[in-house]
Every structure is written in C-alpha cells, then in structure tokens.
Structure 1
C-alpha cells in the first residue's frame, strides 16, 4: 500500500515504489534468465567464438547468476511479506539467505562491470589498430584466462564485505518471537571499525568508481575512433561488407557500454556520498535502493534485445538454432507409435 505520509518525500517514494518492486523485479528477472541462457547458447556456438563474444558470454553468466539469486529474494521479501519486519519474514534461515544473496550479487555485478571495461578496451584496441587481421592479436584462450581472473578478482574484492556481514537477533514484543537482521554499517561515524571502513572504501573505489571511469573513458575513445573511421570511409567513398559488419558490432558494444554508464555512474556517486555525508545512507540511499536495483536488473536483462536489434550475425545464429530445435521437435513428434514403444507396466 502506497503511503505518502512518511517523514520525507524520498521515504514516501521508497515505500510507494516498494509496493511494485517485487512484481517488476520478478518479471525482469524471469525475462533476464531466459534471455541470458539464450545469449550463452548462441555466443558459445563454434561459429560465434571470438574474443569479444567470450567476454559477452562471461557477462551473460554473471547476469544470469544475479537474476537467479534475485528471484527468491524478490518473492520472499517483497511478494510474500509486507514492509513490516515479522519473524516469518526475517527468520534466521532467510536472513542467512539475504547475507549470501547480497555478497553473491555484489560479486557477479562487479564481474559484469569489469568485463564491460575489458570489452571496451579490447574493442578500442581492435578498432584503433585498423588492420584486417587485428582480431587475431588475442586468442580465445587468452580471453578466457582474463575472464577467469575477472571472476576471481571480483570475489577477492568482496571478501571484506563478507567479513563485516553480521547477523543480530532482536526480540519482538509484538509477535513474542525473535527476528534476525543483518548488521547495518554506521557510515561516516567514529564507531565504525577498521574492517568496515576498509570494506566501504575498497568496494566503491575498485568495484564502482574505477571501472565506471575506465568504461566511460574507453567508451569515449571508441566513439571518437569510430567517427574518425567514418570520416575516412566517406573520403574513400564506400566500404566493404566486412568493415560495415565491424562498424555495426562496434555500435552494438557502444550501446552496451552506454547502458553500463547509465546504470553504474549515478549509483557510484550515491555510494561515495554515503561515505562523505553523515546520514546520507539512511536518508537518501536506502529509500532509493530498490530503484537502484531496478535499473541494475534492466541492465542485466537488456543485452539480448540489443544483440538481436544490432547484430546480424547474432540474429542469423539465433534463427539457425531455433530452426534446428523446431526441426528436432518436429521429427520426434512424427515417430510412429508401436507396441514396442509402449512401456510394459510392472506390478509390485
């Protein structure tokens, strides 16, 4: 139920949006799970195996894990239960799940943004080289090693957050039972311990600020290089099919980069303000936290749409896979029934 009578407009907005966030996030996550599975299936086909597609596959896997974790989280904490902290909503088991969910999604989200940075750098180097065989500068095996390091590095980056994630028990007189909640970090306060301070600065800097700056810089470089290439192409009066395909691929990757910038930069600014301004976390960030999640979920689910609309090769490969599935299903449906095909019943 939307209540606009809370103390601040932001808190009122947070409560009103909370009432629809569960349904919204569940729909987006279900769509994202299906589309990311399709992304992985198409991008890992033999004809699609390139360094850039390996990176996109790594992003799809990270986004898939994020959404698989968010589905039960949204169902339990938003759809099954209301805003009130009841013992059923915050049981010990579900609070443990929340702790795992928070750290897991922080890890996969960090993987996704850093792979986006790597993708931007690789594509910029490829376009800047401007040689027909420049794609051979990095093999798929080398790219896979980079992806593995991105996953491992992101997991290491979240270790301080795991160490400061605690659970405390509180007795509710109203329900005559205990509830269990995650410990809230007192940001910008003297009582904040060293590990908490380390965690709060390590993740925003290396998980948000640096990758956002890098992806913005190399995205800008890539756009500038693409414009230079277009000007050279116009002077040469014409371009072959291969260069046109490379240009469309670059535009698609630029669209992916822009989505990262739109979803990550505002959140990075808010996270930094949480550390620098007393009360900002409670008064501003928390009321907007569900909306921030919503934008991040959209970014994790929308890549399939961009691939389909901007990549002819992806569309062709997807249609080829769909036709194969339809043909296999059609052939199985035509298998004649016979006495030998009927399973003989057994009796115990």
Structure 2
C-alpha cells in the first residue's frame, strides 16, 4: 500500500475517532449517573443477600461476590469521573503530588481486580450449578452446594485476581518532571506537551524489546479474562439447560409427584445464569478484542486510540449489567422477594407459601435455591 493510502487510512480513523470521542463524552456523563444509581441499588442488593435466609447455598454466596465486585467497579467509576485526569488510560495518570498518582493507580487496580472477578464469578456460578444438577446422585459432589464452598471460591477468585493485577500494575514507575512528552493517546484530556510534576512511565522490564513482556501479558489476560469466560459461559449454560430438560422429561416419564417445571420457573440461579450469559458475551467479547488491539498496535497508533475510545460504550454496558443483577433477582426469586418483605416488616401470604410447598413435594439440594 502506498504512503498516501496509509495516510488517508490514518486520517479516516482519526476522523471516526473524533466522532466516537465526541459522543463518548456524553456517554461518560450517562455512565456516571447510572454508576451512582448502581451503587445505591447494589448496596441494598448486598444487604439482602447477606441475610441469613439468603446465605443458604454456594451460588447465593457467589452472588454476594458478584454484588461486591459490581459495587467496587461502580465506586471506582465515580472516583475516576471526578478525580482522575484521564478517564480511559491509566498511562495518562498525572498529578501535582506523588501520593495522588499512587492513589489514582490504586483505583485503576481495584477496578481491574473486580472486573476480572466479575467475569470469573459468573462462570463459577454456572459451573457450580451445572455440577450440582449433573452429579445430583453422587454424594462427593454434595458439598458443592454448601455456603462454605461458595466462600472459598469467592476468596480464591479475589486472591488470584489481586495477585495478577499487582503484577500488571508493577509495569508503572512514578516519575517527576518527565523529560519526554506524554503519549499521544493522552491528548483528549490534557496537554501532552506540558510537563506535569508527577506522571507514570513503563519500567525498563516492561518496555524493553518493543514492550514484549507487556504485550505477552495483555495477550494472556485477554485470553484468560475475556475469551475463555466468553466461550465457557454459554457452553455451561447450554449444558445446564439440557440437563434440566432431561431431568424434567425423566421425572414426567417416571410419574413421580414433583413439578420440575415449577422448580425451574422459580429457580433464580438457572434463569439468572441465562441472562448473565447473554449480557456477559455482549459486553466482554468486544473488550477482549480491544485488549488484542493493544497487543498488536502501539498505544499511539490511531487504531489503538480509536479502540480505547470505544471502551466507554462497553463500560456503560457493564454498568447496566450491574443494575440488572438485583432487578433480575427481584423478578425471578420468590425467596429474594420474601427476604425483602421480612426486612420491611411485611408478612408474606401464608396461603401462597403453602401452595408453593404443596407444588413441590420433593426438594432436592442444589435445585431449590430461590
């Protein structure tokens, strides 16, 4: 391709980037408002899930971990909106004091930790649900449904994500009165030709040989955090639905007095997993592609800058997902609604509760989770 053709392509990408960035400024405002609402609704969501009547299964405990992740993601989003110079790039962190730079980097790290946790906790919830239903008659899988198993899984995910993020954050060193300009991708929010008192630069270990170490990490993180969950989630969900369908057919053929369809209608876990699978794939798969762009293109390349501008759009979808989790619980779970009534001092309809109990003569561990 001729130099003129490459130049025209770069100019076209820049023009598209200007449009995307201009709209993105309004999306940032909307995302901020939605994040504030998400913090409030997830606070009450976490309060409800923490009640003794809700902490009865591993999947409900994993939901607590998801709610914690959603809350911290939204808190860091609000912080970045008000107190961080650049909303989209951690390599553009600048400040007038060293402690502020470290604080901003910590906020970026916290958001990264819990974004990764949210991805894997959703996959774990689908995995646990599938194992419980698939291995229903195997006693050694019985402890998978216990709350203690859920707590262990949540703790392991948080720890692994934390260690991985610490390694990633070690790529930065804080410099004072830098001698080189800020990266081109910082131009949207600040003057890259100015000399901030404190800023960040890549350490020699991550920057040598055309940033081969950093690119390798980003490739690994994209595969582990984005693409594997994006494939695992729908596979587990489809497998879970098929197993439940077979259980229903087998029960109907045996003539046992149990309403599997009734259980399935009231089952928060299965329905929530289906909803989360769709939302997760729409949100995380494009973010994985953006990760790969950073692997193969320099951060000052127009394509890399354009892909970063798209992050805010998918970040808003993450915010919408965090709002959708509590709403889904209210709509799908009778146990969740009953817990809200008890918290508000409202007595549940005893006739309805009795009717529900009669509908399901047999309650199987790991299925009745609502």
Inter-CA distance 256–7: structure 2 relative to 1 (3 Å threshold): closer
Aligned length: 314
Unaligned stretches of 5+ residues in structure 2: 1-10, 182-190, 347-370
Q: How does 1:241-320 map to 2 (within 5 A)?
A: 244-247=262-265, 248-249=267-268, 250-276=270-296, 279=301, 282-320=304-342
TM-score, normalising length from structure 1? 0.76
**2:170 aligns to what SS in structure 1?**
helix
Inter-CA distance 98–46: structure 2 relative to 1 (3 Å threshold): same
The alignment status of 1:42 with 2:48, answered yes or no, reads: yes
**Could you tell me whether the CA contact under 8 Å between 1:274 and 1:280 is conserved in 2?**
no
Inter-CA distance 200–306: structure 2 relative to 1 (3 Å threshold): same
Q: Match for residue 54 of structure 1?
A: 61
**Could you tell me whether the CA contact under 8 Å between 2:35 and 2:319 is conserved in 1?**
yes
**Could you tell me whether the CA contact under 8 Å between 1:307 and 1:314 is conserved in 2?**
yes
Residue 109 of structure 1: how far off its partner (Å)? 0.8
Unaligned stretches of 5+ residues in structure 1: 325-348
Inter-CA distance 196–320: structure 2 relative to 1 (3 Å threshold): same
TM-score, normalising length from structure 2? 0.72
The alignment status of 1:125 with 2:158, answered yes or no, reads: no
- Out of 91, 111, 115, which is 1:109 matched to? 115
Inter-CA distance 76–40: structure 2 relative to 1 (3 Å threshold): same
**Could you tell me whether the CA contact under 8 Å between 1:113 and 1:211 is conserved in 2?**
yes
- Out of 70, 77, 85, which is 1:70 matched to? 77
Greater shift in the superposed pair: 37-46 or 293-302: 293-302
Inter-CA distance 69–121: structure 2 relative to 1 (3 Å threshold): same
Inter-CA distance 91–235: structure 2 relative to 1 (3 Å threshold): farther
**Could you tell me whether the CA contact under 8 Å between 2:233 and 2:277 is conserved in 1?**
yes
Residue 275 of structure 1: how far off its partner (Å)? 1.9
The alignment status of 1:215 with 2:218, answered yes or no, reads: no
Cα distance in 2 for partners of 1:12, 1:280 equals 11
The alignment status of 1:22 with 2:28, answered yes or no, reads: yes
Greater shift in the superposed pair: 294-303 or 190-199: 190-199
**Could you tell me whether the CA contact under 8 Å between 2:113 and 2:165 is conserved in 1?**
yes
Residue 311 of structure 1: how far off its partner (Å)? 1.4
Inter-CA distance 130–311: structure 2 relative to 1 (3 Å threshold): same
**Could you tell me whether the CA contact under 8 Å between 1:52 and 1:119 is conserved in 2?**
yes
Q: Please, what is the CA RMSD of the aligned residues?
A: 3.7
Cα distance in 2 for partners of 1:20, 1:68 equals 19
Deviations 1:118-148 (A, max 9, x none): 1010111223245699865432112211111
Cα distance in 2 for partners of 1:145, 1:177 equals 47
